[in-house]
Structure 1
Amino acid sequence: MASSMVRLFLLLLVLCPCAAIVSAGRYDPPGASCYKRLFSLGDSITDTGNLASVAPNSSVLAFPYGETFFHRPTGRFCDGRLIVDFIAEALKLPFVTPFLAGKTAADFRHGANFAVSGATALGQQFFRDMGLDLAILPPFSLDVQLGWFERVLHLLGPTEKERQDIMSSSLFLLGEVGINDYNHPFFQNRSFADEIRPLVPKVIEKIENATKVLIGLGAKNIVVPGAVPLGCVPRYLTLFQSDDPGDYDAAGCIRWLNEFVEEHNRALRRMLRRVLRGPGVAVVYADYYAAVQEITRDPRKHGFSKDAALTACCGDGGPHNSGVLISCNATSVLCPDPSEHISWDGLHLTEAAYRLVALGVLHGPYAAPSILSTCGC
């Protein structure tokens, strides 16, 4: 059954001549890209291979990751493409090179991806001071990724004028980032009221700083996504399972967790409204939360199985197929068709779900203005 987002997309094809055409699952917009480069920062929702470069034995480099589109593991925590990949395709750009996989200016001529799975907005020292186990907390926070970006910027543009031209003609995807700042203490049984919820203003401040740094360097178009609804994530549904029906909403998601994410997203939107901007600068909020909520509340309308909406395609069993593991591997319980599932491995989405989120950000209504509308639509 066709989704409301797909119907909206078809309408845009009529109303907007530069809207993308979907053919065999790939975006194919006519003409050249309105952006010369795409730069992205963030965590595993956006990482296309950076963690894999520093952790070559990671499960993300083993089957069944990558099975749907690439037919091999690529370092993406997904069965196929991520939101950043769909954005690149819609802009007629190649998939951007992960920073840790590139070496020369030629590697980054179309942009670069600095996102690292597990990365946080706050620095690793902050969590060390909290007394967290840092074994799975990589030292690649938002500040580190910004430092990487500045290295690439100077590699691509030796002169100030060249750097300004690069900044003004590029699209920046700043996130999603911040959820791991909550994930790590959640998974280490820290107090929600005393230790996790108070992190929100600190996380927002870091994202604000990163946004201002990019603007200060000359960025003109920045997309800042909100966090996804954690209460609908299979790993969290397992971790905080309850016998009280009142703890869940009509879709089966955990109310208090989603309320917490909504608090984070409200604070993020308030920050973006007040952030200092230069002339001609557009800072756009991408509502990943609402996009995922849309498909979770009525999965069949969007092509997903109702029975599998809150169940991981690839996991280690249990009611949500997401027990103690935070990634899947060759011994995992694997579904026959990832396109029927919203969740891929209990924490990350399937390519099918990411594609719908990308549609909503590229064309609306989950970004205002939508990304492609900044291209002249």
Structure 2
Amino acid sequence: MDNDLFECLFVCRGFVAQKLGLPLVPPYFRDANCSNCRKFQKGVNFAVVGATALDNAYLARKGIINELTNVSLGVQLGLLKTLLPSLCSSSSACNEFLNNSLILMGEIGGNEFNLAFIQGISSEVIGGLVPEVIKAISAAIEELIELGAMTFVVPGTIPLGCLPVLLTRFRTSNKQAYDRYGCLIWLNDFAHYYNEYLKKELESMRRLHPRINIIYADYYQASMPLYLSPRSFGFKSTLTACCGGEGPYNVNVTLSCGDPGTKSCDDPSSYVNWDGAHFTDEAHRVISNGLLDGSCTIPRFEFPSCAS
């Protein structure tokens, strides 16, 4: 694959950019008025805390309230389409621009499930969200293909049963509910279900678009070394949040990191989890390595370095 692929627009975490010898991808919302659009020609990140694949109106009809943001996947796609004319001079130029781009779709969709689980939404409703989330992701990919994009990395979800916020929400005295690493089995089973559903959809899309590169990023498997052998990576705590409030997992579901009553650990690099719902930078580094060497991607894909 041509190295120029990695020199245009893509959305990815900093460790991936560093591995490829590229500058960190600037966040779109830091300069949403586009006072300096040229900086987005090498990459742009539309990520927002709490962003979902489905819009807030749809989630509200299911009883799920997202107070963090209304920037869904559809909104992010609209922002990209609005930004494109500032980055390329014509529709054909924009088509070529996207043709030479790598687009990372998320990880999007996880927030729907976290919100639903925390808010006590029924398992029937949550299960029904899975095909809707995946439909939204595949529709966004289809729209981007029409615009000219040819290469996508689509992440699955992480081991939800190992998240301190969900371990706190569903804490139980039933030891049979946990695996040997202390994670809730049923939540990890749900994550497996979602990932298998997503993989099948992506395989279907590959058959429809044989010339399009659609790469599944297995965040679940890339995360597992954090729990299987944490000490080999220097982690002392796997299931306790570095920044939180109280209890065995250092999480208060009514407080966010930085709120009065929360506190941070002295050494975040020794923790897998930052705030109950998100990994620390050091954990992200481990996950990124599993993706970049191709061992956790389908099809297996080795990202070349652009540094020279």
Output the CA distance in 1 between the equivalents of 2:87 and 2:304.
27
- Does residue 208 (structure 1) correspond to residue 179 (structure 2)? The answer is no
Output the CA distance in 2 between the equivalents of 1:329 and 1:374.
37
Which of 238, 244, 250 pairs up with 1:315? 244
SS at match of 1:112: coil
Give the deviation of 1:107 after TM superposition.
Answer: 2.8
Q: Is the 8 A contact 2:167 2:249 kept in 1?
A: yes
Tell me: CA distance 1:326–1:360, structure 2 relative to 1, closer, same or farther (3 Å). Answer: farther
- Does residue 162 (structure 1) correspond to residue 133 (structure 2)? The answer is no
- Residue segments in structure 1 that go unaligned for 5+ positions in a row: 1-31, 41-82
Bigger shift: 93-102 or 286-295? 93-102
Amino acid paired to 2:37: A
Amino acid paired to 1:163: C
Give the deviation of 1:373 after TM superposition.
Answer: 4.8
Q: Which residue of 1 aligns with 2:10?
A: 39
Output the CA distance in 1 between the equivalents of 2:99 and 2:20.
16
Give the deviation of 1:335 after TM superposition.
Answer: 1.7
Q: Which residue of 1 aligns with 2:180?
A: 250
Q: Which residue of 1 aligns with 2:45?
A: 113
Give the deviation of 1:369 after TM superposition.
Answer: 2.7
Output the CA distance in 2 between the equivalents of 1:325 and 1:92.
40
Q: Is the 8 A contact 2:242 2:250 kept in 1?
A: yes
Give the deviation of 1:188 after TM superposition.
Answer: 1.6
- Does residue 190 (structure 1) correspond to residue 121 (structure 2)? The answer is yes
Which of 204, 228, 231 pairs up with 2:158? 228
Give the deviation of 1:203 after TM superposition.
Answer: 0.8
SS at match of 2:250: coil
Output the CA distance in 1 between the equivalents of 2:304 and 2:204.
23
- Does residue 91 (structure 1) correspond to residue 17 (structure 2)? The answer is no
Give the deviation of 1:279 after TM superposition.
Answer: 5.6
Give the deviation of 1:176 after TM superposition.
Answer: 0.2
Which of 306, 317, 327 pairs up with 2:256? 327
SS at match of 1:190: coil
Which of 250, 275, 293 pairs up with 1:345? 275
Bigger shift: 242-251 or 209-218? 209-218
Q: Which residue of 1 aligns with 2:291?
A: 361
Query: Cα deviation per residue 1:78-97 (whole Å; 9 max; x = unaligned)?
Result: xxxxx611111122222122
Q: Is the 8 A contact 1:316 1:332 kept in 2?
A: yes
Give the deviation of 1:187 after TM superposition.
Answer: 1.9
Q: Which residue of 2 aligns with 1:239?
A: 169
Q: Which residue of 2 aligns with 1:177?
A: 108
Tell me: CA distance 1:324–1:279, structure 2 relative to 1, closer, same or farther (3 Å). Answer: closer
Give the deviation of 1:197 after TM superposition.
Answer: 1.4
Q: Is the 8 A contact 1:226 1:288 kept in 2?
A: yes
Tell me: CA distance 1:372–1:326, structure 2 relative to 1, closer, same or farther (3 Å). Answer: farther
Q: Is the 8 A contact 1:326 1:345 kept in 2?
A: no
SS at match of 1:309: strand
Output the CA distance in 2 between the equivalents of 1:374 and 1:225.
21
The percent of aligned pairs where both chains have the same amino acid is: 39
Output the CA distance in 1 between the equivalents of 2:296 and 2:58.
32
Output the CA distance in 2 between the equivalents of 1:88 and 1:354.
13
Give the deviation of 1:270 after TM superposition.
Answer: 0.3
Q: Which residue of 1 aligns with 2:58?
A: 126
Output the CA distance in 2 between the equivalents of 1:301 and 1:321.
23
Query: Cα deviation per residue 1:177-219 (whole Å; 9 max; x = unaligned)?
Result: 1111112222221112x21111111111111111111222111
Tell me: CA distance 1:143–1:34, structure 2 relative to 1, closer, same or farther (3 Å). Answer: closer
Q: Is the 8 A contact 1:234 1:312 kept in 2?
A: yes
Amino acid paired to 1:335: C
Which of 84, 97, 115 pairs up with 1:153? 84
